[in-house]
């Protein structure tokens, strides 16, 4: 692999979009939202870091993607790096991707109750997911990924992080049946503090192999892009110019700024000599 992860993802997005477009007359343009997105906005601003970082890691064996943006497992499957199964609780997302990438195995499952045998996967992905699971669902999802990973298995994940933690809500059910209403409001996402990130990894006790904090150097690139949406989608491919280099990185949370949230990347291992899932 001579090209960086973000560039391979960017190219793969166009490959999928063009293939969907050329075959549209046969399937009646089903999955249009997913297919057009692959052509118009190959990667959202944050995905240049989140997905690009993970795409450059090593993968092999039986691999489970837990509700991440499907472009990443689609690329890894095409590169023959692992045998992939991608799941999501949002049925409409799964249906769209069935038409965008028919070669990717897709199933509808809840991350809080995975229907797989213990220790049945070598690798798990969970990119920009747990922050969107309401109440204690994030901890349930972490425990479930622990359960289905074999001892020594690896979890790659990213999530939001902020010096000041907070929860965000919406008025619409963005993810349909996968959305959760709390007190008349629809939960959208949480911004964890660095301390809360540490607490999330304690039970079950993950071994942290790598931890990296990221923030956008110029956050207005993303703000301007979404402020002008959907008109800005027509030049979404040009985000490849500012976005790959628009991140300040550090192993410590001191890279974060009080007024902006960032992202933390984690490479975690289920210890080979730790307690079993049934002993939690």
- Which sequence spans correspond to the domains of the chain? 5-275
Give the pLDDT score at 277. 42
Find the mean pLDDT for residues 99-109: 97
Say what the alpha-carbon torsion angle 133, 221, 8, 64 is, to the nearest 10 degrees.
0
CB-CB neighbours of 210 under 10 Å: 13
Strand order through the sheet with 149-161: 105-108, 83-88, 62-66, 121-127, 149-161, 262-269, 207-216, 247-250
Give the pLDDT score at 275. 53
In tens, the pLDDT along 130-144 reads 999 999 999 999 999
Give the pLDDT score at 280. 37
Q: Are 204 and 275 in contact (CB under 8 A)?
A: yes
DSSP for 64-111, written as a single string: EEES--THHHHHHHHTT-SEEEEEES-HHHHHHHHHH-TTSEEEE--T
The architecture CATH gives domain 5-275: 3-Layer(aba) Sandwich (3.40)
Find the mean pLDDT for residues 118-132: 98
Q: Are 13 and 34 in contact (CB under 8 A)?
A: no
Q: What would the two tokens of residue 30 be?
A: 């089903």
pLDDT band at 26 (very low <50, low <70, confident <90, very high): confident
Whole-number Å distance between alpha carbons of 204 and 66: 18
What pTM was computed for the model? 0.94
Whole-number Å distance between alpha carbons of 1 and 30: 33
Give the pLDDT score at 25. 86
In tens, the pLDDT along 227-266 reads 999 999 999 999 999 999 999 999 999 999 998 999 999 9
């Amino acid at each position: 692999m001579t090209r960086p992860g973000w560039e391979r993802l960017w190219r793969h997005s166009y490959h999928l979009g063009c293939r969907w477009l050329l075959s549209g007359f046969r399937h009646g343009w089903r999955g249009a939202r997913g297919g057009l997105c692959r052509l118009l906005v190959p990667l959202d601003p944050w995905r240049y870091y989140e997905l690009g970082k993970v795409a450059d890691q090593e993968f092999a064996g039986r691999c489970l993607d837990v509700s991440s943006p499907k472009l990443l497992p689609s690329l890894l499957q095409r590169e023959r790096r692992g045998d992939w199964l991608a799941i999501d609780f949002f049925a409409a997302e799964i249906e769209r991707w069935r038409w965008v990438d028919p070669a990717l195995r897709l199933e509808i499952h809840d991350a809080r109750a995975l229907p797989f045998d213990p220790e049945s996967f070598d690798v798990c992905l969970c990119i920009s997911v747990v922050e969107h699971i309401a109440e204690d669902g994030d901890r349930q999802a972490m425990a479930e990924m622990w359960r289905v990973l074999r001892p020594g298995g690896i979890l790659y994940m990213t999530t939001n992080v902020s010096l000041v933690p907070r929860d965000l809500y919406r008025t619409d059910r963005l993810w349909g049946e996968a959305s959760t209403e709390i007190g008349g409001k629809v939960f959208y996402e949480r911004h964890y503090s660095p301390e809360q990130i540490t607490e999330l990894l304690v039970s079950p006790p993950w071994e942290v192999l790598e931890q990296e904090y990221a923030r956008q150097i110029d956050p207005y690139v993303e703000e301007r892009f979404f402020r002008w949406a959907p008109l800005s989608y027509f030049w979404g491919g040009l985000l490849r110019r500012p976005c790959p280099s628009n991140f300040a990185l550090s192993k410590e949370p001191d890279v974060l700024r009080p007024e902006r949230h960032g992202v933390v990347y984690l490479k975690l291992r289920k210890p080979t000599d730790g307690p079993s899932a049934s002993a939690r």
